[in-house]
Every structure is written in structure tokens, then in C-alpha cells.
Amino acid sequence: MSQNREQCEFPTRDRKISVSETYIKKLEGEVKALRAQKQRSRASSELDEASCLTQDPVETSTQSPDIDVSNPLLESPTGFVAARSSSQPIFIGEASCVAFGDTLLQCVDKDADLSSWASPTYFQHDILHRLMRPEVVLPDRIQARLLVEVAIRFIGTDYHLVLKKTFFDTLDRTCAGEIPRNPAWMCKFFVLLALGEMYSNRKRRMADQHVPGTDYFLRAVGLLQDLYETPSVEQVEVMILFCFYSNALGRVKTAYTYSGIALRMALGLGLHRSLPTDTKLCPVDREHRKRVWWTLYTLDRLCSSNLGYPLLISDAVIDVELPTNEGLIPAELEEFTDPGHLVANVKLAKITGQIRKSAFPLQAVVRITNELHSS
């Protein structure tokens, strides 16, 4: 036996391994895909750098914030508080003056009760609260139900317009002589009649150039309430219906304005935010809020893209869930249609918004314009 304790080292030789041609082509395809992904990432980073040119230089500081430091003034609350006179929760923007003042109050007095919210005080006048005039003539119940069903069949399968069972129950009572206490319902009723008459009389519209449903729509305009200080989900529905009929009249900018008003009211109601689990709302009302919001969301994307206007709200501030029938019992399902079409429209609207933002960013337009002038 050799007395040499040193370990022998041998040169490493490449082994020859048989590999199929299919496997090699697969590897080549993966390499090409990775290179293409790298090029897309590089182009995306260039767009991000261009968008950062307009930001405050302080935001590009290399100093990283201390995320472990807790600041009670910057904690993100849910934004919802209970109303004293309504089951609907009241939304308060996290960065609003009221929220900041309440947070300061909690810092000073930890026992302060901020769980409920009193109605705000503001100027009111009878002219701003128009009620239905006695000379307004309602159609008979059969005709009214038929027109509303036509409107729901043409639009209500793709979008959420009303709570069906609740609306038809109120319709029957109204046609029987009971005047609703909520003027917003009457306004919504006449717009649905206008939409139903329009979709059921296409040949007449072509014959005498008269748009069916105009008379009903003008009645709805006359009943439109100026209640923006205390908006409701039903008022948002009214504005959505106004947007639909205005588009049918070719009044696209008017439709854009109505959708903008509806969006502002919806933001004030917090429809874009996910409700906390302890909110005292029944499953129907919770689902109703979600479907009204996403219908309005698709309208905003549609109107803005058609006119080439900026989007009114960013996806980054929306966290409300998509519509679903899960958790609803059969009696509650009678209020809604299948959410599949609405969810598909929401996804298309999101794609439209992404294309609108990436294809036509303001910084890119300015850069191209400057290059054209300098050449």
C-alpha cells in the first residue's frame, strides 16, 4: 500500500449525453420567450422612468422610510362608519379633514366614541326637492311592466339596473294608486319606461325621426333631484339610467357628464371600497352596492374611451369584490340576474383602461411632440 496520503486529483471530462431534438427545440423556444420578456420589461421600465419625470424629486430619494415606526395619524381605517338614521354605512375618505380630525381626537381621548355619524347640516330649499306633480299621468300596470321588462331584457342582462323583485313590487303598488315617498324611484321608473319604449319601437324611430321614450325621459328629467349632499345608491342608479338613454339619443357628452356625476356620488358612498364584515347590511344590499359600482365602472371606461377623455378613477383605489351569486338564497336571487355578463364587461373595461393608459400617456405625447418640433 502506498504511504502517500495526498489525494489524487483527476481532470474533469465532459460527459456525452444523448438528447432528443424535440428537447433542444423546447429549450430554444424557452430562451426566445425569456429574451422577449426581458425586452418587454426593459420597455416597461423606460415608460415608468418617463412617468417619474413629472413627480416630486423628493419621492425619488434613496432614503428608505422606516416601516417599523407606527404613526397613528397615518393608519388606514376602513373609512366606513354607522349612520344614526339609516342602515346604509357612511363612507369617509381616509385622507379627508373629518377623518384626520377624528384620528387626532382619538389620539387625545382614546375613549372617544366615533362609531356613529350624525347627518350633516346644510342649506335646503323646496325648489331643490321637487316632488312628482299631480298632473303626471302614469301608464297602466300591464304596459308599465312590459316596458320595464323590455329594458331589463335588453340592458339588464349585461349590466345591473335595479333590484328586480323589489322594483316590480313597488311598480304594482304605484300603478294601483300608491305614490312612492322616494322621488328618486319615480325618476328611475320613468327612465326605465323610456328605455323600454325605445327598444320596443325601433321601426317607428326610423319612420318619423321621433325617438320613442322621449316623453317619459323628459318627465324623469323634471323629477331629477338635487340631493348630492346626501346621495343614495338609488340616485346613482338614476344617473346610470340617464347615461344609458343619453347614449341612445347620441348625446355622448351628456352621457359622460351623467356618468361622472354618478361616479362622484358613488365615491361619496364608498361603493368602490370593500365593506367591513361587521357592516349591518343584508346580503342583497351588499351585492346591490357591488353591482351598481361595477356597472358604473364599465360606463366610465366606455364613455371616457369613446371620447378620448382621461379615466375618472384609477384601479389602484378600488378594492370592492366582483359581483357573485354565492351566499344568496333563492329568494334573494330573485333580485338579480346572472352576474357572468357583468363580470365579463368589467374585465373588458379593465383592459380598455389599461390600453388607454399605456397607449396614450401624457408624457409620451409631450415627448413625441417635442421631437417633431426639434427635427
How big is the chain, counted in residues? 375
The model carries a pTM of 0.66
Q: What is the pLDDT along the chain (375 residues), one digit of tens a residue?
A: 555 566 666 666 666 677 677 777 777 878 877 777 777 666 555 545 544 444 444 444 444 444 444 444 444 455 555 555 555 666 555 555 555 566 666 676 666 665 555 555 545 555 555 555 555 678 889 999 999 999 999 998 899 999 999 999 999 998 888 877 788 899 999 999 999 999 987 655 545 567 889 999 999 998 887 778 888 999 999 999 999 999 988 899 999 999 999 999 999 999 999 988 877 889 999 999 999 999 999 999 999 988 888 888 999 999 999 999 998 999 999 999 999 999 999 999 999 988 877 766 666 656 666 777 776
Residue 40: the pLDDT is 65
Angle at 85 between CA 286 and CA 275, to 5 degrees: 25
Strands lying side by side in the sheet with 90-91: 90-91, 80-83, 116-117
Residue 38: the pLDDT is 73
Give the chain's end-to-end CA distance (angstroms, integer).
85
Residue 166 · residue 174 · CB < 8 Å? no
Residue 269 CB partners (closer than 8 Å, separation 6+) = 88, 91, 231, 232, 233, 236, 289
Residue 61: the pLDDT is 42
Helices (H), the chain: 21-51, 97-108, 141-151, 164-175, 183-199, 202-208, 214-222, 233-248, 252-269, 283-307, 330-333, 340-359, 362-374
Bridge partners, residue 74, by sequence = none
Rounded distance between C-alpha atoms, residue 295 and residue 288, angstroms: 11
Residue 5: the pLDDT is 62
Bridge partners, residue 17, by sequence = none
Residue 107: the pLDDT is 73
Strand intervals (E) in 50-186:
80-83, 90-91, 116-117
Residue 176: the pLDDT is 86
Phi, psi of 335 (to 5 degrees): -80, -20
Block residue for cell numbers 320613442: 212
Residue 344: the pLDDT is 96
Rounded distance between C-alpha atoms, residue 313 and residue 340, angstroms: 23
